[in-house]
Chain A
Amino acid sequence: MPLLTRIVPVAVILIAWELVARTGSVNPNVFPPVTEIVMRWFAMFGDGRIYAPLWGTLWRALAGLVAAIGVGVPLGLLMGRARWAEWFFEPLFSFGFPLPKIALIPLYVSWFGVFNLSKVMLIFTDCLFPMVLFSYHGARGLSTIYLWSAQSRGTRGLRMLWRVILPLSLASIYDGVQVSVVVAILVAVVSEMVSGGGGLGELMIRSYRYGDVRTAFATLVTISLVGFALFKLAQWLRGSLLHWHVAEA
């Protein structure tokens, strides 16, 4: 679809919103005009008050995500190739998968405190599930021809995992990363809304409490943009890292 026809429906809604908000028939502190939200968004970047919360959310989300990749990929690959690991871990992960990990916030706060660690651990836990399951399915579905040919040349153990199984499973692992990026931002924001800590989520709750809808809206836009940018970054990285991969051909 051409860009212009895509813009039309969104523009219609925004203009109607602006007009309704400007007629004075709604309370502008509950339902502010679009232009005021946009101005607030620029103002928050202009005077720099968005940077600290933005950074807080971003580093916690990325720390949890990176930790989940570091633990989840080796574990998932092991489960895909070693019978005992599959026997033990697969039921645990498939049983834990439907549990909303957000429900663990109070438990993690009592274990790791209300500050950064409990949030990073929660993001780690939530991202671990997709990372393990996607790596596991990637490693399990490998064509045995590659494994046999590596084996016949004497490749064994860790080297096999690192040089053969990991590269071949990368496409599936990457699907897991793309799911996890979205999860990481979501969990970071929700955990900040529930237990503070100075991120974008806390900023939203605080502006709600002060009745500052403009800031709440501008923050929501920032959260969505961060999530979208990270997702696109992951997509772009996938294309540039995996262009050689069999699954991409």
Chain B
Amino acid sequence: MKAYPVAKIIPLLLLAGVWQAASISGLLPVSVLPPLTDVAVALAAMLRSGELITNTLASFARAGAGFLIATIGGIALGLLMARRRVVERALEPILLLIYPVPKPALIPLFMVWLGIGDVSKVAVIALACLLPIVTATFNGARSVDPILVWSAKARGTSERRLLWRVVLPAALPQIAAGVRTAIAIAIIVLVSSEFISSEAGLGYLIFSYGGVGADDAMLAVVIYLAVLGFLLDRLYLSGLRRLMSWHAFAH
């Protein structure tokens, strides 16, 4: 996990240059791909009007709520499954059953049960993010070096303290990988659910601008979303590196 080298931006700039040249020279009709400068102008206008910020916040609230529920619930369930046989026996078959369901396909059903508002979206996002986190936590907690657990137990550490001070820290690298997957899934399910029904959010913005043929504004939001996703991932990785600098597995 190195810092992102500046030289890697060159191909992206090249591509942007070709795009701009092709649409200015008329090689690409504006109806197919508007010039990149138009997209930048649309982006600036949306930033100025505050439209982009309000919709980003609406999306973030939904994705964040679902993601948070999934992280807390997923880590708790994963730890419980790893430490209690009964819980593992009860939950593993159910998780196996939910695993092959493409989560965005649940959106229509959740809309029947929970309404077309935010609750159904948050619920689908939470469920979709839950599975990778539970699996990662369970596998991480399972593979904790038994010597660590024994030596803690030999010193009379209580089960709760053991979980909190030994098992959880030792399982952190795997949990962190599961959470990273969950962040990517949250964004996919968020955009899908906002395409299907919503009055606010980045998915709604893309869909409504695309619907009226305002391709420059639509592309501006798509590129903005790509950059946002990319930055979120980088931010997470660098935060993680700082957080885990103490860890034996950290490089």
Name A residues whose Cβ lies closer than 8 Å to a Cβ of B: 1, 5-10, 13, 30-31, 87-92, 95-96, 98-100, 102-107, 109-111, 182, 185-186, 189-190, 193-194, 200-201, 204-205, 207-208, 211, 213, 216-217, 220, 223-225, 227-228, 231
Contacts and interface: CB of A to CB of B under 8 A. Distances in A.
Interface in B70-108: 89-94, 96-97, 100-102, 104-108
B220 to A, nearest CB: 12
B229 A100 contact: yes
Given A8-B93, A194-B207, 16 more contacts: A6-B96, A9-B89, A30-B112, A91-B12, A92-B12, A96-B226, A98-B230, A100-B188, A107-B215, A107-B219, A186-B102, A190-B102, A193-B196, A207-B108, A216-B112, A225-B100
A96 B210 CA distance: 20
Contact of A208 (B112, B192, B230, B233): B112
A9 B8 CA distance: 51
B192 A102 contact: yes
Contacts, number: 146
A93 B184 CA distance: 15
A62 to B, nearest CB: 16
A109 B211 CA distance: 10
Interface residues of B, number: 54
Interface of B: 8-12, 14-15, 31-32, 89-94, 96-97, 100-102, 104-109, 111-113, 184, 187-188, 190-192, 195-196, 203, 206-207, 209-211, 213, 215, 218-219, 222, 225-226, 229-230, 232-233
A102 B109 contact: no
A100 B187 contact: yes
Given A5-B89, A92-B15, A106-B206, A224 B101 contact: yes
Given A91-B9, A106-B210, A194-B195, A220 B106 contact: yes
B12 to A, nearest CB: 6
A92 B109 CA distance: 37
A225 B107 CA distance: 18
